[in-house]
Amino acid sequence: MNPTPAPRPYPESGRAIPEGRETALAGGGAGAEDVALVRAMADGDERALGALYDRWNAVVHGVVARVLRGPDDVEEVVEETFWQAWRQASRFDPARGAVQTWLLTIARSRALDRVRALRRRRETPLEGDDGEVVVQQIAPGDPGVDAESSERGRIVAAALAELPAEQREALELGYYGGLSQSEIAERTGQPLGTVKTRMRLAMQKLRSRLQVLRSEGGGAP
Amino acid sequence: MSDGMTHEAASEALEALALDALDASEREGVMAHVAGCAECQRELAALESVASEIALAAPPLPMAPAQRDRIKARLVARAAADRADAEQAFADVRAKASPDVTPLRTSRRGMGAANWMAMAAGLVAIMGVGGYMRASREQTALRTSLQEAQAERGAGLAAMDSLRTTLEDRDRMIANLTGAQVAVMTLASPSPTPSTGRMFWDQAHDAWTLVAHRVPMPKSGRTYQLWLMTPTAKINAGTFMPKPNGEVMMRATMAMPTDSLAAVAVTEEPMGGSPQPTTAPMMVARL
């Protein structure tokens, strides 16, 4: 966890980060900077959008590419993610989670919209997708990603890695593949009841492991 | 609870709902249950929080510099245009309601349209462009939320209809009890039964609401029957059973000329009721 820095201007704008806006969920230092950027976006400062993009474009791109599984539409979806963040900046509530989580939720949602629209057009399930699920670790020292968010990513990746493979598969086919439980059952050849149980267990274990890992590692609350 | 799905079945589907992986058919039922279940709402919020963190594990993927810069340039340009639109709208509102065109005056009859405009201009000036933009954004966001809510039709509408029906029913009941044309009669019971009750007659809506307390359960195979008595007839207004705690809330709809009611009575009758009273009243109000 980074120590909370003194108020400082964000890149290109010269605007000071408001004091006293840190929250536990925003995670202090880097989180407070993100929150200040989103507040400035809500006030109509496009430079804040540019600064937020500089900080998070690689992370957003990572999630979008993971969901889309190919280069098509990636650029549009990344842009739409940040555009939605701009338009909805006034709705962001730091008490409900970090800016990073909010951005990634938008990114996943927009990417899944695209995947589902494509699937409906093709009327075939996930063309060219073999359903393989690989849990990847966050690469150390990625540019633009601060130590705190890397730590949070590491904790979640570790918790996912501890899940039995079949449970992780059910969870990730739903989460990244945008598949319903019936579609996952069809894809994996497993009975629907089995898929439901696996998904449920996966979420329960993930929830519990995240709590344990955070208390051990002192990650974000 | 407004649906056929049990709490247990719904709670077992919350993990999949948080992942947005429920089949559409099941989703409606679960959402309808969640809408009326505080426990499931709390659990769903916690699970959605877990789900929202899964993406944190996806490794960052730097874009090619040209692509990265292209997207940024487009975003910043779009945002600047958006801000300029807001500033123009802000200027328009101020210009339309300029105080030197529409001087602020007070009137005994209230503020005229011009004064409202001047007041709006004052508010806009206080808010500034940023505040105006945020307010207009919030309005847009609310509109988006509304559209999202409308998109959740099935479950949401079912739950809303159920709540609306309950609310309307309660509103109607309150109106039937407190309206301007509601006559209230107190029912007394000949000893030794300790029952007490009141009849609220909403003459504007021909609605009758009987509220009674400490009403003992009738004998096996028997029920209570409510009678509206005129000088010439005993009109059957329906049968009812008290709750185990002796409370009664019974409603009936029946038109009756205001001056023709002579008494209200409750008798114990065979199950299904009788065409005419067959026992002495256990509660009665005479006018």
For B271, the token pair is 């199950």
Higher per-residue pLDDT: B33 or A142: B33
Specify the pLDDT at position B40.
93
Dist. CA A78–CA B81, nearest whole Å:
19
- Those of residues 115-134 in A touching chain B at CB distance below 8 A are none
Specify the pLDDT at position A109.
93
Q: Which residues of A touch B76 (CB under 8 A)?
A: 46-47, 49-50
Asked whether the beta carbons of B58 and B90 are under 8 A apart, the reply is no
Instruction: Tell me: pLDDT of A9 over 50.
Output: no
Which neighbouring-strand residues pair with B249? B211
Dist. CA A132–CA A168, nearest whole Å:
11
Q: Give the mean pLDDT of A115-125.
A: 73
A150-153 long-range CB contacts below 8 Å, 24 or more apart? A151/A1, A151/A217, A151/A219, A151/A220, A152/A27, A152/A98, A152/A100, A152/A219, A152/A220, A152/B53, A152/B56, A153/B56, A153/B57, A153/B58, A153/B59
Dist. CA A48–CA A12, nearest whole Å:
8
Instruction: Tell me: pLDDT of A21 over 60.
Output: no
**Partner residue facing B19 (CB), from A66, A142, A175:** A175
Chain segment A45-58, per-residue pLDDT in tens: 999 999 999 999 99
pLDDT interval class at B2 (50, 70, 90): very low
Specify the pLDDT at position B253.
87
Specify the pLDDT at position B170.
72
Decide if B59 and A104 are in contact by the 8 Å CB cutoff.
no
Dist. CA B104–CA B124, nearest whole Å:
16
Percent of chain A with pLDDT over 70: 72
Instruction: Tell me: pLDDT of A141 over 70.
Output: no
- Top residue of B44, B53, B83, B90 to mutate, by most chain A CBs within 10 Å, is B53
pLDDT interval class at B240 (50, 70, 90): very high
Q: What does the H/E/C string look like for A172-214?
A: HHHHCCCCCHHHHHHHHCCCHHHHHHHHHHHHHHHHHHHHHHH
**Partner residue facing B76 (CB), from A50, A58, A78:** A50
Asked whether the beta carbons of A180 and B22 are under 8 A apart, the reply is yes
- Top residue of B69, B71, B85 to mutate, by most chain A CBs within 10 Å, is B71
Chain segment B178-230, per-residue pLDDT in tens: 777 888 888 888 766 678 888 889 888 888 989 888 888 888 889 999 999 99
pLDDT interval class at A72 (50, 70, 90): confident
Chain segment A159-213, per-residue pLDDT in tens: 999 999 999 999 999 999 999 999 999 999 999 999 999 999 999 999 998 888 7
Q: Give the mean pLDDT of A124-134.
A: 43
Instruction: Tell me: pLDDT of A25 over 50.
Output: no
Alpha carbon of A111: minimum distance to chain B alpha carbons (Å): 12
Dist. CA A134–CA A161, nearest whole Å:
9
Tell me, yes or no, if B188 comes closer than 8 A to chain A by beta carbon: no
Chain segment B40-96, per-residue pLDDT in tens: 999 999 999 899 899 999 889 999 999 999 999 999 999 998 888 877 776 766 565
Distance of CA B267 to the CA centre of its chain: 37
- Those of residues 85-114 in B touching chain A at CB distance below 8 A are 86
Residue with tokens 């992986």: B21
Tell me, yes or no, if A138 comes closer than 8 A to chain B by beta carbon: yes
Chain segment B81-105, per-residue pLDDT in tens: 888 887 777 676 656 554 443 433 4
Decide if B57 and A196 are in contact by the 8 Å CB cutoff.
no
Specify the pLDDT at position A81.
96
Asked whether the beta carbons of B117 and B160 are under 8 A apart, the reply is no
Chain segment B109-165, per-residue pLDDT in tens: 444 555 555 555 555 555 666 666 776 666 666 666 666 666 665 556 666 666 777
For A69, the token pair is 């599984």
- Top residue of A82, A137, A197 to mutate, by most chain B CBs within 10 Å, is A82
Residue with tokens 């039709």: B153
**Partner residue facing B56 (CB), from A41, A47, A156:** A156
A16 DSSP assignment = B
Specify the pLDDT at position A104.
94
Average pLDDT, chain A: 77
Q: What does the H/E/C string look like for chain B?
A: CCCCCCHHHHHHCHHHHHCCCCCHHHHHHHHHHHHCCHHHHHHHHHHHHHHHHHHHHCCCCCCCHHHHHHHHHHHHHHHHHHHHHHHHHHHHHHHHCCCCCCCCCCCCCCCCHHHHHHHHHHHHHHHHHHHHHHHHHHHHHHHHHHHHHHHCHHHHHHHHHHHHHHHHHHHHHHHHHHCCCEEEEEEECCCCCCCEEEEEEECCCCEEEEEEECCCCCCCCEEEEEEEECCCCEEEEEEECCCCCCCEEEEEECCCCCCCCCEEEEEEEECCCCCCCCCCCCEEEEC
Query: What b-and-e string marks burial along A105-120, b requiring 16 or more CB atoms within 10 Å of the CB?
Result: bbbbbbbbebbeeebe
Specify the pLDDT at position B39.
94
Name the nearest CA neighbour of A180 among B175, B33, B23, B42: B23
Instruction: Tell me: pLDDT of A5 over 50.
Output: no
Asked whether the beta carbons of B17 and B43 are under 8 A apart, the reply is no
pLDDT interval class at A95 (50, 70, 90): confident
